Chain A
């Protein structure tokens, strides 16, 4: 039975392929939307211009690192918030609420718990170590080569899943706005992204993130206000209309999937809460301001803006349900959202603010996607060129020029991989894909980082074995679970039932790190212990005298 069902799903997927043609006739209100496209182009070019100007002003590599010193804590806070408010998360969250009601808000709430954890447990220790990337921190205590290989691999896997989310969001957006086929839309996003990395680079991301965060917060606020105004600022009335539009009725006002599958629910909770602390490209953001005081202030502002934005999803998500669902302008004959499930917020912006709002929100969302994707690609390219190529395969012999060349190649390859993944995962919700990246980070980079910071007994062998086991099982169970086995390969039931697998893989990674470290009698283990002792981490946290 499951085989025939699987075949049916596959056929279903095949039938979906020509479906993008629908977008050409649909658009968000019919035909090509010139106002929206004009505004869209203006904002995108504007952000590219900011990137270009900032890149020109920043001549040396040290400018890049000290740039943080010239911006205030408030501005840096906006930049951190900008990193978190990825369009993938925004579009995906609104889409999740649109499709599943309150279940979608579980993700929104979960995302907001990640940043505080980083602040409480890691930021100060990372700063004290004077190291900015996850890999460098691990290398202060452990043997460099195996740790770098592991860290680079883990980073690449996490980045790949995060990239998918952004690529799918960007592709659906371009398809909806320009009426292009999804495949072409993917190529446009991919090529623009490669250009962005090669010309602008990471140098200007801080400014783009600030600009974008401000635009996104303004845009989100305006949409939320317009939605509330539509219902006379009565949230209950908004919810009543949303309930009347959703086939599951009243049940969308409370979490549903949590009680259906409690283990997956707790697993998801773990992934959302602790995943952030394992994301390589997010951790770096805490060091753009050199003095600790300003860094803390920036973190506070980041949490204010980020949490405010995710709270807006309470209005935007249900607003989309109330105003977009069953509206023939936005829904196709089969009842599905035109342009795909991730486009609920985009349609909502048109429903309450017309073409202007549609163009504005699309543009900000797209600029966000480009910025986030560029940052991710660059982090991935650095993992390949700096960690794998320069440090491991060529030892210290690699010249700067060849390292830069490798990173260029890596950027292009990653761009192509991203396009392929974007096509494979095109029907997935993007907020859900982000949660998968979180779950893998939770099981690979996070255990290693926590143990490096808090447990002197960690050895190289323990760290690498535990990290690899966590990474491997998280990846395997994700492939055998709902996201890939059912979502991409089209089988009816997943082999591994828990989705995401964090509740199994995260403790497993910690356990393996611990057991292997304790049993490690290799000469390297002795060196590791010596190094951790010389670093001075002798007292366990509980016995530290009150400061």
Chain B
């Protein structure tokens, strides 16, 4: 049991990829809370139509963007982590 706990850590390298993880988390937080914050403090921005005279508002585009961003950032993390794993 002790072996199980200690071995990965004694390797001396950072566990996981904290810097990459924090950076990607920060990006997601900025854009997601940008969305929530605009809705809370500047709703007029989100209420604007995407195209002049159109029905689809900026809110839809931004919402979909955050959803896509989650996939993209996860993809970046997995790509980097797995490439390092091979090396």
List the interface of chain A (C-beta within 8 A of B): 102, 105-106, 108-110, 112-113, 115-117, 119-121, 123-125, 128-130, 140, 235-237, 239-240, 243, 253-256, 258-259, 262, 265-266, 268-269, 273, 292-293, 296-297, 299-300, 303-304, 307, 310-311, 314, 534-537, 539, 541-542, 544-547
Contact = CB atoms under 8 A, between A and B. Distances in A.
A307 B67 contact: yes
Interface string B4-27: 111011101111111111101100
Given A105-B59, A255-B39, A296-B78, 12 more contacts: A102-B60, A113-B70, A116-B73, A117-B28, A120-B20, A124-B17, A300-B78, A537-B15, A541-B22, A544-B14, A544-B19, A545-B14
Contact of B24 (A120, A243, A266, A297): A120
Given A112-B70, A239-B56, A314-B60, A119 B40 contact: no
B7 to A, nearest CB: 8
Contacts of B67: 108-109, 112, 307, 310-311
A264 to B, nearest CB: 9
A129 B12 CA distance: 14
B21 A121 contact: yes
A24 B73 CA distance: 48
Contacts of A310: 67
A547 B84 contact: yes
Interface of B: 4-6, 8-10, 12-22, 24-25, 28-29, 32-33, 35-37, 39-41, 43, 46-47, 54-60, 63-64, 66-68, 70-71, 73-75, 77-78, 81-82, 84-85
Given A239-B55, A310-B67, A545-B14, A297 B78 contact: yes
Nearest to B31: A113
A243 B71 CA distance: 30
B55 A240 contact: yes
Nearest to A292: B85
A293 B82 contact: yes
A440 B44 CA distance: 32
Contacts of B82: 293, 296-297
Binding site secondary structure of chain A: helix
Contact of B29 (A110, A140, A273): A273
Contact of B36 (A106, A240, A534): A106
A268 B81 CA distance: 31
B43 A258 contact: yes
Given A109-B63, A236-B55, A307-B71, A253 B40 contact: no
A266 B18 CA distance: 26
Contacts of B58: 254
A188 B40 CA distance: 42
Contacts, number: 179
A300 to B, nearest CB: 5
Contact of A109 (B15, B35, B85): B35
Q: Which of A129, A258, A292 has the most CB of B within 10 A?
A: A258
Contacts of A311: 64, 67-68
Contacts of A130: 4-5, 8
Given A253-B55, A258-B43, A547 B74 contact: no
A140 B77 CA distance: 27
Contacts of B84: 547
Contacts of A545: 13-14
A258 B47 CA distance: 12
Contacts of A546: 19
A117 B33 CA distance: 14
B14 A536 contact: no
A255 B57 CA distance: 10
A241 to B, nearest CB: 10
A303 B17 CA distance: 19
A437 B81 CA distance: 31
B8 A115 contact: no
Given A113-B32, A547-B17, A119 B10 contact: no
Contact of A296 (B43, B55, B81): B81
Contact of A259 (B9, B25, B28, B41): B41
Given A258-B36, A300-B75, A535 B9 contact: yes
B8 A113 contact: no
Contact of A254 (B22, B33, B43, B74): B43
Contacts of B20: 120
Contacts of A535: 5-6, 9
A546 B20 CA distance: 10
Contacts of A258: 36, 39-40, 43
Nearest to B2: A534
Contacts of B15: 124-125, 128, 537
Nearest to B21: A120
Given A124-B15, A125-B15, A537-B15, A255 B59 contact: yes
Contact of A266 (B25, B36, B73): B36
Contacts of A299: 74, 78
Contacts of B57: 102, 253-254
A527 to B, nearest CB: 15
A536 B13 CA distance: 10
A239 B15 CA distance: 48
